[in-house]
Chain A
Amino acid sequence: MEYKISNRLRTGAIILMILGVLGVGYGFMDAYSVNEDNITEFLANEDHHGDEHATESHGEEHDMSTAHAEESHADDAHGAEVEAEGHEMTHEEHVLHQLHNRPYAALYVAAFFFFMISLGVLAFYAIQYAAQAGWSPVLFRVMEGITSYVLPGGALVLLIAFFADSHIFIWMDENVVAHDAIIQNKSGWLDKTWFMIRGLIFLGGWSAYRHFSRKFSVAQDLADINDNSNFKKNFRISAAFLVFYIYTESIMSWDWIMSVDPHWFSTLFGWYVFASMFVSGITVIALITIFLKSKGLLPFVNDSHIHDLAKFMFGISIFWTYLWFSQFMLIWYANIPEEVTYFVTRIEDYNLPFFGMVAMNFLFPLLLLMNSDYKRIPWFVVMAGVVILFGHYLDIFNMIMPATVGDRWFIGFPEIGSVLFFGGLFMLIVFTSLGKYPLLAKGSPFIKESEHFHY
């Protein structure tokens, strides 16, 4: 079955991108309309209006010297830093940083969110090959379409990281590092050049696998019926990729996300991010499959395939919750000051997004997708999928925002604009790529099993 991206879809995606650019542009203008000159006035205004949120946080400011500072400081060892910042940063400067960080952080969250979807799909795709799955080959082309976003998406994340610099990664600010003994000790790892090099290596590895797996997959279509050599090549590189992936995914999570809170650390973090990207990726496979099927383009996909995808959405959602809970509970239980501040800020300043995401990522999929019949009903899967995707956007939001904008978070123009922009770009790239090759990977040795798959 051939697919061509429709004009309507392309125009829609471009409109989303334009709206997104406008939103982000407005976000930057709005953020930078407050500067050194009028910050005092801005804060006074805020107080004057009696905004409950602002006053409340204002009272707390004295013990939180920067947005980045919350992570640490209960510990005596960190005294030097508090002192250093104490005389360096006034309350005004601090708020100004938070305001200015916001559009960068909003952009970064959305960029990472869409990128992680495609990387999650790439991992899922590699697992299907390595496990010699018999049910999923009919979905290979859909997965390949989604993974076409890995390279541009990943490059954009790195680019934003490069330009946002200390607006997102406080350790990229030399002034801060000069006064922060903890970050200095990590400077062997947290170094901008080295960070970018690592990022490029990861991206190079992932996109190389994506490139070759797609190439072999297409070549297998044209090969002789008894010639499985391309399939075997794909099997081998998938196994190799998975090894590469498990390492680079962990390191990427430490670099690209965990290091926004450079004082905080958690060994589970890489796997936790993995669960988030994996479930979002599988959800998007299901959504795009249902979309294409509704257009009559995937006649070989039956409701058992949807059922299997929905089972994965259900299972990995629970797995995500398991890791979320493990990380949260262990830190809550031991209550060691240098770790627990991470969750203290999230519970105090991000109460609704923090616990709301648990409801969206766990309770909704658990209740919606428990029933076997419901997992075969497209609109039901779509509904659950939308909730899951929103939930995992919030998950990334909860990871990045507290370190960059602190209690000055809001989901407004820059956040929504960024999601629209990257969402549009994602659609444009993915659906264009979907149109390049037939939607059935007919050469796979398991394709017949997959077409006849019934559960």
Chain B
Amino acid sequence: MASHYEAPIRRPLVTGEKSYHDVTVDVARPVEGKANRAWWIVFSIALVAFLWGIGCIIYTVSTGIGVWGLNKTVNWAWDITNFVWWVGIGHAGTLISAVLLLFRQKWRMAINRSAEAMTIFAVFQAGLFPIIHMGRPWLAYWVLPIPNQFGSLWVNFNSPLLWDVFAISTYLSVSLVFWWTGLLPDFAMLRDRAVRPFQKKIYALVSFGWSGRAKDWQRFEEVSLVLAGLATPLVLSVHTIVSFDFATSIVPGWHTTIFPPYFVAGAIFSGFAMVNTLLIIMRKVCNLEDYITVQHIELMNIVIMLTGSIVGVAYITELFIAWYSGVEYEQFAFLNRATGPYWWAYWCMMSFNVFSPQFMWSKKLRTSIMFSFFISIVVNIGMWFERFVIIVTSLHRDYLPSSWTMFSPTFVDIGIFIGTIGFFFVLFLLYARTFPVIAQAEIKTILKSSGERYKRIRENGETLSGTG
């Protein structure tokens, strides 16, 4: 690990006069306290949306996919758009916990726990769509290569939709394990502080008897590094496989080799935007401004700006190559996006994804919390449109003009999407009340190198001994 010395020009990551104990108290407070009215109101809204979504899902499954707005030409629309959108959002969590760990970014420590929670809850939502968009979802288990009584009828491993099954399920399991290992010391902290027997029992159960011995910590760190090393290729490959759903096809506008890295860049982009949205609120309502500082928000904005620019390069590359290819179907696909009946979706996507992150070049704007919040919402809308544009505009007009058509969603399409947003927030709100939302054990490892108080002491040339 890096030494305790830190260049003076680095800004502190923990502000205020925090000691180790203060960190513990600040992180435990939301869990140990009672939910206020605002929490209950938001929770109820999310719950209602969730229940409404369940209703729509039951209606779809029991009546048939025909209740959606799909047609014979556009047979993927909101379902897969939402799927890709949610998977994309989930990617930031792994990015923050794994990739930023590999790059030794200390600032990740204040945000990784919530980002990973967001990943897991977003992957839950994503995971719904591959099931419910099936015509016969009760036969979904047929996608698994299980020996059976049909003469061992197996799946065809050539389909990216099958790769999706493996990708998403592996991704969810690995993220869950990674998240939970990180939680052990923090659950142990809650267990040790709990005064009510019921809570003590619960946190004792989930912390797996963590006692924080040197050997445990050593293995803990090794496991984290190995998991980060595994999760990084995993996160790249998961969204790559999602992009293969389109890129392996021969549909103009879908078949393009840049999709794998470009979908991943888009996933990081939208995922960081969602983390920003959630954390800007969380730091306020949970009084965590000393841990999730403006610098954290600024750095996330820079990642948004960077990945937004990469996505922009990819858009321009696609446009250029569409022209350069000389393939008229490909050229038409892009002309249709820009000037066809869904031009508004295309230009929303372009302006929200390519232009809006460019504001972050301004230090004034990227350190403004209000502006960051606004842009993070804009980016998420833009990235939803990106998936919508890629999927629908490529399908609704392709090779045969006789199959050209339009798509418009029904209330069931929309209802299910709203339902997943509700479900996501139900989970996230419950999480914020019961889990330590900041990895306090990790924060404590950087407190003395990057805490404001300790930096000041060191800069004044005083000794750290006796400062606790």
Contacts and interface: CB of A to CB of B under 8 A. Distances in A.
Interface of A: 132, 134-135, 182, 185-186, 189, 228, 243, 246-247, 250, 254, 265-271, 315, 318, 322-323, 326-327, 329-331, 333-334, 336, 338, 445-446, 448-449, 452-455
A270 B262 CA distance: 12
Contacts, number: 95
A326 B261 contact: yes
B53 interface: no
Nearest to A333: B248
Interface of B: 1-3, 5-10, 102, 233, 236-237, 240, 244, 247-250, 255-261, 309-310, 313-314, 316-318, 320-321, 324-327
A331 B248 CA distance: 8
Given A250-B313, A452-B5, A318 B250 contact: no
Contacts of B259: 330
7 contacts: A134-B7, A268-B257, A268-B258, A270-B317, A327-B257, A330-B248, A336-B255
A212 B123 CA distance: 46
Given A250-B317, A455-B2, A268 B261 contact: yes
Contacts of B318: 267
A448 B7 contact: yes
Nearest to A304: B2
Contacts of A134: 2, 6-7
Contacts of B327: 338
A448 B5 contact: yes
Contacts of A246: 309-310, 313
A453 B6 CA distance: 10
A268 B318 CA distance: 9
Nearest to B225: A372
Given A250-B313, A322-B236, A326-B240, A267 B9 contact: no
B250 A323 contact: no
Given A182-B326, A271-B258, A445-B7, 19 more contacts: A134-B2, A134-B6, A185-B326, A186-B324, A186-B326, A246-B310, A247-B316, A254-B324, A267-B314, A270-B317, A322-B260, A326-B257, A326-B260, A329-B248, A331-B257, A445-B9, A448-B5, A449-B7, A453-B3
B250 A454 contact: no
B134 to A, nearest CB: 23
Contacts of A268: 256-258, 260-261
Of listed A185, A228, A322, A454, residue having the most chain B CB within 10 A: A322
Nearest to A319: B236
A315 B310 CA distance: 20
A267 B310 contact: no
Given A134-B2, A336-B250, A454-B2, A267 B7 contact: no
B98 to A, nearest CB: 12
A430 to B, nearest CB: 28
Given A134-B7, A454-B3, A334 B324 contact: no
Contacts of B250: 334, 336
Contact of A452 (B3, B102, B256, B313): B3
B249 A228 contact: no
A322 B240 contact: yes
B238 to A, nearest CB: 12
Of listed B1, B102, B327, residue having the most chain A CB within 10 A: B327
Contacts of A247: 313, 316
Given A322-B236, A454-B2, A446 B261 contact: no
Contacts of B247: 330
Nearest to A451: B5
Contacts of A333: 248
Contacts of A330: 244, 247-248, 255-257, 259-260
Nearest to B319: A267
Nearest to B250: A334
Nearest to B6: A449
A288 B229 CA distance: 27
Contact of A267 (B102, B237, B309, B317): B317
Contacts of A334: 248-250, 255
Contacts of A323: 260-261
A266 B324 contact: no
Of listed A189, A250, A267, A322, residue having the most chain B CB within 10 A: A267
A318 B7 CA distance: 32
Nearest to A132: B10
B327 to A, nearest CB: 7
Contacts of A265: 321, 324-325
A132 B8 CA distance: 13
A372 to B, nearest CB: 9
B224 to A, nearest CB: 14
Contacts of B233: 318, 322
B324 to A, nearest CB: 6
Contact of B5 (A271, A327, A338, A449): A449
Given A250-B317, A267-B318, A228 B261 contact: no
A336 B240 CA distance: 20
A445 B326 CA distance: 51
B164 to A, nearest CB: 15
B65 to A, nearest CB: 27
A43 B279 CA distance: 72
